[in-house]
Structure 1
Amino acid sequence: SIDQSVVISEKFANSIFAAVEHIKKQIKERDSNYKAIIFAPTVKFTSFLCSILKNEFKKDLPILEFHGKITQNKRTSLVKRFKKDESGILVCTDVGARGMDFPNVHEVLQIGVPSELANYIHRIGRTARSGKEGSSVLFICKDELPFVRELEDAKNIVIAKQEKYEPSEEIKSEVLEAVTEEPEDISDIVISLISSYRSCIKEYRFSERRILPEIASTYGVLLNDPQLKIPVSRRFLDKLGLSRSPIGKAMFEIRDY
């Protein structure tokens, strides 16, 4: 009873634009009667995404942030509120993928891949509960496509609906205007994504030399200068084990400090 689809972009950052554009369309079609959960790979990226969605949609819907860094009392309060709300968007990590029963969730959206393959199933299971219908949309870049193939091979899940996405200059400008974080904050967010994707390269059969530089390029896209690279020290690259790797040079601007 879950209508599954995948939206494929050239770049990881484009999945953000695709998700925002999708949500705008849903809110318009449903006259703001829209309830969804959107999953993100890391706590820092979840907070960042929540900030963008609040800037875009807070006049239309409540936007709630949910992850493991929030206190247990606040998480309990958020769960109660989202269960009660007829509309709204819960932005969360995989901490919200299991054991949560939220009524009347229209859609589950995912930007990027989950922390483990089984969590894809747990994520989409937050919709179409109690015999009701629901849909899920996975927003990924082309370098994440091995994840979709792994779903087929390991879990026998075939996502038949696949479409390519290219953001317009209008939606890119609109979303980038909603970014309020400083470059240092953007750097931390993207580095958290790099760490997350490094941990699942083997499980999802990603190409390290392709996926990591692609995730790193999100830094320049979000700062509206695609040529920008994340500035890091050689010592930091040593900690990552990338000081002697051409991948490190492709991902970062290496500074002597």
Structure 2
Amino acid sequence: VGVDELASSGKFDKSIILALKAAKFLNLTPVQQKSLVPILEEDGIVVRAKTGTGKTLAFVVPTLQTSLEVFDRRRKGVSTLVIAPTRDLALQIESEYKKVISKLPRSLQQNADILVLTGGKRTSINVRDPPSIVVATPGRLLDQLSNPKKAAVFKNLKYRVYDEADRLLDVGFEQTLGDIDDILVQNAPDGFKSILFSATIDADVDSFARQHISENYKYINCVSEHEPEAHENIHQSLITCKDSTDVFKTSFSYIANHLQHKVPFKCMVFLPTVASTEWFYQSLVRGVDNGVFDARPSSFVRLHGKRTQSARDKVVGQFRRMQSGIMVCTDVAARGLDFNDVTHVMQLTPSVSVADYIHKVGRTARAGKEGKAILFLTKNEMKYSTILRKERGVNFEEVIEAEDIEKPHEDILDLVRINEEEIESFISTYLSFQTQVAQKHRFDSHRAIVDIMELYRTILSQPDATMQ
């Protein structure tokens, strides 16, 4: 369905439709087809939609339409508030708004100015000249709303949007969101529409929606009940490994093989801890020096919560621009970050939360493209694949034995070895993560510990090494 169909509804300004076309948004995704008009017409809506399905534009367009309709230079105020779980997602939402706003006629652009409020950004609400649209993370928003003069600019609020609500609740923002709600309700006597987007609607999200959206909210489900939660364009593979040593040997080999092929290989590698991310990244760089990986060190980047905000922003920009490259990351990057053309997602461990597997997989095959998701499991962790199938309908299209993956260097772990201090730090945090996962999914904890000690000795090349 083309965007011209919006004109036939009579609900959308011609300038918005032209701006969408100029911004190269020519067709409506199923999520947009189902929700654009209801968001304008209904009061409380919950939309279940997977990531990568065009859901951001589904609220950008109607809220922008409303911003233009209600704009009044004499009584400026915030007409739309979007609440997102992370700074990265907030910036991405701002970017989607700006793609459309930048194509509006000049005279209208100033009626749809936008402000982002997140940690790490020193922006603040200007009470004399408030923005029409605010995109914010909960903590920073509450901080601003605690000032009564700033709270007052939400007097004529028309829309409050929760994006990735499951993630907002996962991260533990429920109390903060409740405090924000109290302030908004006090300051907006005429009330406002609330919309919630979420990839999963479990009991927690439903309870939150009944409280914050409406007891009888309208539910728009854009995910078929029989459809597995991961996107159908994602080819999911499972690589079974003897132990943790085998996982890393095989994953480094898998990367080396793909870098040799000279076809685009834009890959996100997920690891569970900051130290494991650092170790893997440094090992890749060392591997380039030793001829293991046919790439420039600059084509490898890393993203985790211990990096400064400016470093994270820089990495996100670098990876966006790459045609081929590898981002090694923790879960920080799993939700809400949108990168074009990610061809592969590699997960080297089970996730504590099964939903996290789905969210990581959703970084590839975005905007109708195809992608591959590869999960590496040890023999001890195989129960996790059964859990994924039962709880999330995950069907692996192929199951590959690690020994069937071509190993260009049998001594690959020697060739990527980095300093002992980094290895110590990696193993100690990795050990505690694996113990936690073993308890959660009922793997054999003793075997997991023995396994990781064996990995430690192998990557140190010291058969008798013990941990401090």
Aligned partner (choices 413, 418, 438) of residue 175 of structure 1: 413
Counterpart residue type for residue 230 of structure 1? T
TM-superposed CA distance for 1:198, in Å, is: 1.8
Aligned partner (choices 172, 183, 193) of residue 430 of structure 2: 193
Moved more, 4-13 or 162-171: 162-171
SS of 1:153's partner is helix
Counterpart residue type for residue 242 of structure 2? E
Counterparts of 2:399 and 2:243, CA distance in 1: 16
Moved more, 69-78 or 204-213: 204-213
SS of 1:55's partner is helix
Structure 1's unaligned 5+ residue stretches are 233-257
Counterpart residue type for residue 173 of structure 1? D
Match of 1:67 in 2: 304
- With the length of structure 1 as denominator, give the TM-score of the two structures: 0.82
The alignment status of 1:39 with 2:270, answered yes or no, reads yes
The alignment status of 1:78 with 2:78, answered yes or no, reads no
Counterparts of 1:81 and 1:115, CA distance in 2: 29
Aligned partner (choices 212, 235, 239) of residue 3 of structure 1: 235
- Aligned ranges 1:122-133 → 2 under 5 Å: 122-133=359-370
TM-superposed CA distance for 1:113, in Å, is: 1.8
TM-superposed CA distance for 1:203, in Å, is: 2.6
Counterparts of 1:70 and 1:35, CA distance in 2: 22
Deviations 1:67-100 (A, max 9, x none): 0100111111111111111111000011111001
TM-superposed CA distance for 1:170, in Å, is: 6.5
The alignment status of 1:228 with 2:228, answered yes or no, reads no
SS of 2:467's partner is strand
Counterparts of 2:361 and 2:317, CA distance in 1: 20
- Contact 2:256 2:408 (8 Å CA) reproduced: no
Match of 1:121 in 2: 358
Q: Flag as ranges the 4+ runs of structure 1 deviating above 6 A.
A: 167-170
- Contact 1:37 1:108 (8 Å CA) reproduced: yes
Counterparts of 1:22 and 1:44, CA distance in 2: 22
The alignment status of 1:18 with 2:250, answered yes or no, reads yes
- Contact 1:110 1:137 (8 Å CA) reproduced: yes
- Contact 2:264 2:343 (8 Å CA) reproduced: no
- With the length of structure 2 as denominator, give the TM-score of the two structures: 0.46
Counterparts of 1:69 and 1:160, CA distance in 2: 36
Change (3 A) 1:84 1:154: same
Aligned partner (choices 37, 50, 70) of residue 281 of structure 2: 50
TM-superposed CA distance for 1:132, in Å, is: 0.2
Counterparts of 1:87 and 1:169, CA distance in 2: 21
Counterparts of 1:115 and 1:77, CA distance in 2: 29
Match of 1:239 in 2: none
Deviations 1:112-146 (A, max 9, x none): 12242211111110000000000011122111111
TM-superposed CA distance for 1:28, in Å, is: 2.0
Q: What is the root-mean-square deviation of aligned Cα atoms in Å?
A: 2.0
Identity between Structure 1 and Structure 2 (%): 28
Match of 1:149 in 2: 386
Match of 2:337 in 1: 100
Deviations 1:41-86 (A, max 9, x none): 2111110100111122476141001101001111111111111111
- Contact 1:187 1:230 (8 Å CA) reproduced: no
SS of 2:409's partner is helix
SS of 1:230's partner is coil
Counterpart residue type for residue 23 of structure 1? I
- Contact 1:97 1:126 (8 Å CA) reproduced: yes
Counterparts of 1:4 and 1:14, CA distance in 2: 20
Deviations 1:219-251 (A, max 9, x none): 1111224x434233xxxxxxxxxxxxxxxxxxx
- Contact 1:17 1:171 (8 Å CA) reproduced: no
Greater length-normalized contact order (CA 8 Å, ≥ 6 residues apart): 1
Change (3 A) 1:144 1:228: farther
Counterpart residue type for residue 237 of structure 2? S
- Contact 1:82 1:88 (8 Å CA) reproduced: yes
- Contact 1:94 1:115 (8 Å CA) reproduced: no
- Contact 1:43 1:69 (8 Å CA) reproduced: yes
Q: When the two structures are aligned, how many residues end up with a matched partner?
A: 229
- Contact 2:267 2:346 (8 Å CA) reproduced: yes
Structure 2's unaligned 5+ residue stretches are 1-232
Counterpart residue type for residue 204 of structure 1? H
Moved more, 104-113 or 195-204: 195-204
